[in-house]
Chain A
Amino acid sequence: MAPRVGLLVTCLVDLFRPEVAFAAMRLVTATGATVVVPRQSCCGQPAYNNGDRMGACLIARQVVAAFEGFDHVVVPSGSCAGMVTHHYPRLFQDDAEFGPRARRLAARCFELTQYLADVAPLQPPAGPPVTVVCHESCSGLRELGIGRQARTLLARAGATVVEIAAPEPCCGFGGTFCVKFPELSAAIADRTCRSLAATGADLVVGADLGCLLNIAGRFGHLGGGPPVRHIAELLDGPPTAPPIGRS
């Protein structure tokens, strides 16, 4: 029987780039799963990372309740997936009711590239022969331990993946950090943008829209740089929407 997969859209995708969610739905469907998008708002990171644990718990309960009925949960964002898999169990560590429920959900929740590379392997349609550079989100790298998955999928789609010289630079987005310390956030993005551009890649891709908005936003401010897209758009066939921040 086809697994039922719940899609956690994430608030940035919902607002800024709905194409990513539609692409993720098609990609997960192509693995033979039935994709469902339950009622949802956000994973709770803004509250959790700004000291409002109570608020984060309230939202996390909503997410647990909305998604615990699925065989798998897929999230097109490393930081939101990290929130569910890594931080929800800690948030409910001493909660007799939600603790076990959060742990069960965490075990079945996957970031999109993780799902498509490791859980339900996908052969994406061959795309144009582009050279791409991957920006790893810090949550993906350190909370989920992923990075290889995106490269595997891009290679399967026929893209040439190039690597940046300096390893693993943070893009400076950092959730609400980007508006609390905008100058620092932009300066950190600048360093990341320079190392991404130095690869000469045709396209920057990543699996976290927060990072990509920051990177594309900085490239846009500087008036140059390669186009930036979410990896789901590239794996889903020829993208229809313009690159992030362009028309």
Chain B
Amino acid sequence: MTGSIADGPADFRRAAVAALADPALQQALGRNGFAQRRAQAIAALPEYPELRAAAAALKDHVLDHLDHYLERFAAAVEAAGGVVHWCDDAESAVAAVLGVARACGARTATKGKSMAGEEIGLNAALEAAGIRPIETDLGEYIIQLAHEPPSHIIAPASHKSMADVAGLFRAHHRDRPAERPLDQAEILVDEARTILRPAYGVAGLGITGANFLIAESGSAVIVTNEGNGDLTQALAPVHLVVAGIEKLVPRLEDAALLLRLLARSATGQDLTVYTTVASGPRRHADPDGPAAFHVVLIDNGRTALMGDARKAMLRCIRCGACLNHCPVYGQIGGHPYGATYGGPMGQVLTPALAGLGAARDLPQASTFCGRCAEVCPVAIPLPDLMRHWRDEIHQQALDPPRHRLALALWLWLARRPRFYRLAVRAASFGLRALARGGCLTAAPFAGGWTRGRVLPAPTGPSFFTQYRSGGNEP
């Protein structure tokens, strides 16, 4: 089973309905234990509220002075012997990576997990250029074999079952015995390890993302549990970092603050197994490490968020907590969002990256329950930012005409309480006339509601009808 993959964010509702009907996906979504583990980790950190406030303030400070910190970062990378590539959009970022790959003659590129790489469509571009990308994070490797996008920003293959993975390994690892047992996670992990090990040494280019970029030193910080990101960057002759411009923090100590929140919010660990700070290429006396160091800095729509309240979205440290606590994501997984980033953070980010027209359904697909904002370690008010997009959608008349008409009609009535009461009175009468046994199984204008629910009928004439007839009209 592949889950339901939207062709793009515009396809959200169709893909969401298909995802609801996919039993394998539903089973996989039931396995998500991140929320529980996060709760335990946060409960063990009494200073969490203060750390969260400090982290939000830190990111806000950086964003308010981002131009300055970016310039200082670039200068520090160059001073350490690295190269910075400033990229306006996905195309220029891809071109920068391909330029580096061609210059170093890479035939294969190992890749640590990078959502920025996903965002710019890096694998497809490398393949088209004749350079074989090899994902080394196990989850990313699995979905690369399946030719699927990630379904979760920290657990990209979480929609796959063990049997799915076994099937993919049988289909792709053809030099292995066909009848070998692949019925345990340990066996599958070991096979992936054996297959991927040689790749690190032969790759001409090692590509990683960055969890944080350090302005003072020009460093890229990555966190992993597998160690794949470290093998990728330590063994390749060229280390290339792909990262959004919002990853900047001033100093290494600032990364320490965010590290205290990141893993706890993501997987419930106090800290990931590996946290690596990479600063420039191999130095004069170093016996190993990459000989060249490149940083591809990506805007790709991020600066468009910086002019108003949506700037807070750029605080995001990609922990995935909002996905893990979202009732909508919990029902459908990440693919129906039709974009690199699913769940609440993607519902705010994708319209900036993909355009509001294509992504107009995403900010609407929320009950505004508020759990995402509540668990966000950098206090991004995600529902408020979705509402911000809804304001723009409405202003630009991107919402469906029948929704606009219904809203306009309702508004006309709501502004005229006398007419409003008459309309409610009529609706009450009509619904009661159609009701059987206290509810309706079909109703005009409520077809969507009654497909999966009955519509409880009004118990009698509207409140204001009864109140007035009781002589209580104010």
Of the candidates B16, B437, B461, the one whose C-beta lies within 8 Å of that of A247 is B437
* A174, B365: Cα distance in complex, Å: 10
Mark out the residues of chain B between 414 and 467 whose CB falls within 8 Å of any chain A CB in the assembled complex. 414-417, 420-421, 424, 427-428, 431, 435, 437-439, 446, 448-449, 451-464, 466-467
Question: Is A123 close to B, CB under 8 A?
Answer: no
Of the candidates A13, A186, A246, the one whose C-beta lies within 8 Å of that of B451 is A186
Give the size range of A's interface with the partner.
Answer: 35 or more
Of the candidates B371, B416, B421, B458, the one whose C-beta lies within 8 Å of that of A170 is B371
CB of B439 within 8 A of CB of A246, answer yes
* A134, B13: Cα distance in complex, Å: 31
Q: Which chain A positions have C-beta within 8 A of B387?
A: 48-49, 51
Which residue of chain B has its CB nearest to the CB of A141? B370
CB of A189 within 8 A of CB of B365, answer no
CB of A245 within 8 A of CB of B439, answer yes
Of B367, B399, B424, B472, most buried by chain A (CB within 10 Å of CB) is B367
Which residue of chain A has its CB nearest to the CB of B468? A37
Of the candidates A15, A22, A181, the one whose C-beta lies within 8 Å of that of B13 is A181
Question: Quick one: given A16-B458, A170-B367, are A182 and B467 in contact (CB under 8 Å)?
Answer: no
Q: Which chain A positions have C-beta within 8 A of B474?
A: 36-39
* A23, B367: Cα distance in complex, Å: 28
Question: Is B169 close to A, CB under 8 A?
Answer: no
CB of B462 within 8 A of CB of A49, answer no
Contact with A along B355-396 (1 / 0, CB 8 A): 000000000111111110110000000000001001111110
Which residue of chain A has its CB nearest to the CB of B390? A51
CB of B391 within 8 A of CB of A53, answer yes
Question: Quick one: given A175-B368, A186-B451, A247-B437, are A41 and B420 in contact (CB under 8 Å)?
Answer: yes
Question: Is A203 close to B, CB under 8 A?
Answer: no
Which residue of chain B has its CB nearest to the CB of A58? B415
Q: How far is the CB of B11 from chain A (nearest CB, A)?
A: 14
Question: Quick one: given A41-B417, A217-B454, A220-B439, are A184 and B390 in contact (CB under 8 Å)?
Answer: no
Question: Quick one: given A49-B387, A186-B452, A218-B452, are A168 and B371 in contact (CB under 8 Å)?
Answer: yes
Question: Quick one: given A9-B464, A50-B394, are A246 and B452 in contact (CB under 8 Å)?
Answer: no
CB of A59 within 8 A of CB of B411, answer yes
Give the size range of B's interface with the partner.
Answer: 35 or more
Question: Is B2 close to A, CB under 8 A?
Answer: no
CB of B424 within 8 A of CB of A143, answer no
Q: Which chain A positions have C-beta within 8 A of B427?
A: 15
Contact with B along A12-33 (1 / 0, CB 8 A): 0111111101100000000000
Question: Is B81 close to A, CB under 8 A?
Answer: no
Question: Is A142 close to B, CB under 8 A?
Answer: yes
Of the candidates A169, A177, A246, the one whose C-beta lies within 8 Å of that of B437 is A246
CB of A172 within 8 A of CB of B327, answer yes
Q: How far is the CB of A198 from chain B (nearest CB, A)?
A: 15
Which residue of chain A has its CB nearest to the CB of B400? A180
* A9, B427: Cα distance in complex, Å: 17
Q: Which chain B positions have C-beta within 8 A of A21?
A: 463, 467
Of A18, A47, A48, most buried by chain B (CB within 10 Å of CB) is A18
Question: Is A64 close to B, CB under 8 A?
Answer: no
Question: Is B174 close to A, CB under 8 A?
Answer: no
* A185, B369: Cα distance in complex, Å: 12
Contact with A along B33-62 (1 / 0, CB 8 A): 000000000000000000000000000000
Question: Quick one: given A52-B394, A169-B327, are A18 and B460 in contact (CB under 8 Å)?
Answer: yes
CB of B374 within 8 A of CB of A142, answer yes
CB of A245 within 8 A of CB of B438, answer yes
CB of A49 within 8 A of CB of B390, answer yes
CB of A18 within 8 A of CB of B462, answer yes
* A139, B374: Cα distance in complex, Å: 12
Question: Is B328 close to A, CB under 8 A?
Answer: yes
CB of A51 within 8 A of CB of B392, answer yes
Q: How far is the CB of B436 from chain A (nearest CB, A)?
A: 8
Q: Which chain A positions have C-beta within 8 A of B417?
A: 39-41, 62
Question: Is B413 close to A, CB under 8 A?
Answer: yes
Besides A15-B462, A55-B407, 7 other A-B contacts (C-beta < 8 A): A14-B462, A39-B417, A46-B410, A50-B403, A59-B411, A175-B367, A179-B448
Give the 3 A-B CB pairs with smallest separation, nearest first. Answer: A186-B452, A51-B394, A174-B367
Interface of B toward A, CB cutoff 8 Å: 13, 16-17, 20, 327-328, 330-332, 364-371, 373-374, 387, 390-395, 399, 403, 407, 410-411, 413-417, 420-421, 424, 427-428, 431, 435, 437-439, 446, 448-449, 451-464, 466-467, 472, 474
Interface of A toward B, CB cutoff 8 Å: 9, 11, 13-19, 21-22, 36-42, 44, 46-53, 55, 58-59, 62, 138-139, 141-143, 168-170, 172-175, 177-191, 213-214, 216-218, 220-221, 241-242, 244-247
A-B contact pairs, 6 of them (CB 8 A): A14-B464, A16-B457, A41-B416, A172-B327, A177-B364, A182-B452
